[in-house]
Amino acid sequence: MKIADEVVEKKRKLDALKAKIRPGALDNLDSVQRIDITYTSNAIEGNTLTAGETALVIEKGITVSGKPLKDHLEAVDHARALDWVIEIGMQGRVPLRETDIRTLHQLVVAKSKPEIAGRYADTVRFVNTSAGAHHFPSHVDVPTLMKDFTDWLAEADDTPEIAFEAHRRLVGIHPFNDGNGRTARLLMNLILIRGGYPPIAIRPEDRPEYTNALEAGQAGGDYGAFHDLLYRRLDHTLDQYIAAATEAARSDHRIAVADQMERAQALAKALDLPRAMDTAEALEWLKWQPETEVHYQGPAEQAGIAAQIASAAERTTLYEASNVPVATIGRVIRFKFKNDAPLWAIQIADQSAQTLFERASTDSLRDLMFENVGLTAQLVRDANERQQAGQQDGEERAAKPKRPSGSSFTP
């Protein structure tokens, strides 16, 4: 499998993991990456701050003794530019304009070189290469070249291949007097973020391979080596995020299990059950208590059980923490009531369901409880109609079932 295909497959895996973990689970890695991208991008251009010093400057605002002021300003500039890139990248597919790239450059050199911030080059530009001095396009042609570039970018997809090509195309135009490399790497990461990929860092140890690959393309060769390097960096970054997301998913699972046990214990305590048990076990216990030899099976008893569970859920706020207890209540209330179900039992179930319906915090829970309320309300109406028609059996309606000890409702 080609590395480009492997990257796509790893992104799918990361997306699937992200769907399973809580929001913010990867914030720490995002923060570390933010520092690393700023450190590495500046280091490639000759900045002398270490990774630790870069973090101190960005996060604490501390001045590092013995290091040039310019290096501090470059760190602050790049960090703010990266924040802007992340914010814009998360907004989705909005065509990038020429002014966006100039804004990006303005942020890159806002404090370190404010006199050129966001302004196209006004002088000739050369760079030393292994083959000698390389002359970039004339500054006179920059506006036209940038218009063509952004027109192409507006129609291109947000894929790694496009991100890498945009990087090397912008470097090839070299539209600014300084800061072109940092701007190009940030533009690349902006496109990656819009495509759902994490931003990547090109490390100082990658510099020889990185510059040689760019020079080879600028000398008329292909950019295969350049794209290969960037794919490897993206592949490595995806591995980091997949590992972190996998760990977060395991942690979330452990927390979920612990929460489930806590809810089960709360339910057991509320119902005066002999031990902690899950909701399904609680229902079985309510139907059968060996010590009292009371066996609940009839429709009236089922309505009473529904009321007990609903009451316990209200007291322990279980309905707010998870839809599982509410779903269980729904299943109990939706038992097949017989027409001879006592009116008092139906009314209790109806009242409990109505209370939960009014207090449910999400649309899905409200929809669930609405179904239950509608059912029990209809049962109440039917019972009243039978009573008015003289069709009720008084003795049958007056009978009340024995309840389990510790029962919390009063008919």
Give per-residue pLDDT as tens, 327-373: 344 434 333 333 444 454 445 445 555 554 454 444 444 444 444 44
**Kind and range of the H or E element at 127?**
strand 126-129
Give the mean model confidence (pLDDT) for residues 212-240: 93
Distance, CA of 392 to CA of 180 (rounded, Å): 88
Give all strands (DSSP E) within 33-154, no chain letters: 126-129, 132-135
Count: domains in the chain: 2
| DSSP state letter for 339 | T
Which residue stretches of 298-362 are H helix? 299-316, 318-321, 323-333, 343-359
Check whether residue 183 and residue 322 sit in a common domain: no
Side-chain half-sphere of 115: how many Cα atoms within 13 Å? 2
Check whether residue 111 and residue 226 sit in a common domain: yes
Check whether residue 203 and residue 103 sit in a common domain: yes
Residue 39 lies in a domain: yes
Q: Which range has the top average pLDDT, 150-159, 256-265, 288-297, 308-317?
A: 150-159
Structural domain ending residue among the three candidates 217, 251, 285 = 251
Check whether residue 337 and residue 209 sit in a common domain: no
Check whether residue 196 and residue 308 sit in a common domain: no
Main-chain phi, psi angles of 319, to 5 degrees: -65, -20
The pLDDT, as a whole number, for residue 255 is: 63
Q: What is the CA radius of gyration of the chain?
A: 33
Catalytic residue among 72, 78, 167, 174: 174
Check whether residue 72 and residue 177 sit in a common domain: yes
Check whether residue 339 and residue 275 sit in a common domain: yes
Check whether residue 229 and residue 275 sit in a common domain: no
The pLDDT, as a whole number, for residue 93 is: 79
The pLDDT, as a whole number, for residue 337 is: 36
Q: Answer yes or no: 174 catalytic.
A: yes
Distance, CA of 370 to CA of 374 (rounded, Å): 6
179 band by pLDDT with thresholds 50, 70 and 90: very high
Check whether residue 42 and residue 158 sit in a common domain: yes
Looking at residue 239, which CATH number applies to its domain?
1.10.3290.10
Structural domain ending residue among the three candidates 251, 280, 308 = 251
> What is the separation, in whole angstroms, between the first and last Cα of the chain?
69
Given a cut of 80, is residue 115 above it in pLDDT?
Answer: yes
The pLDDT, as a whole number, for residue 219 is: 82
Residue 285 lies in a domain: yes
12 band by pLDDT with thresholds 50, 70 and 90: very high
Give the mean model confidence (pLDDT) for residues 19-43: 94
User: What domain range includes position 299?
Assistant: 271-398
The string of DSSP codes covering 232-298 is: HHHHHHHHHHHHHHHHHHHHHHHHHHHHHHHHHHHHHHHTT-SS---HHHHHHHHHEETTTTEE--S
Name residues whose C-beta falls within 8 Å of residue 39's C-beta, 6 or more positions apart in sequence. Answer: 49, 50, 51, 54, 55, 75, 201
**395 or 63: whose pLDDT is higher?**
63
Structural domain ending residue among the three candidates 221, 251, 281 = 251
Residue 262 lies in a domain: no
What percentage of the chain reaches a pLDDT higher than 70? 61
The pLDDT, as a whole number, for residue 256 is: 59
Check whether residue 48 and residue 136 sit in a common domain: yes
Check whether residue 98 and residue 211 sit in a common domain: yes
Residue 404 lies in a domain: no
Residue 407 lies in a domain: no
The pLDDT, as a whole number, for residue 138 is: 95
Residue 385 lies in a domain: yes
Check whether residue 83 and residue 169 sit in a common domain: yes
Residue 256 lies in a domain: no
Residue 35 lies in a domain: yes
CB contact at 8 A, 175 and 161? no
What percentage of the chain reaches a pLDDT higher than 90? 52
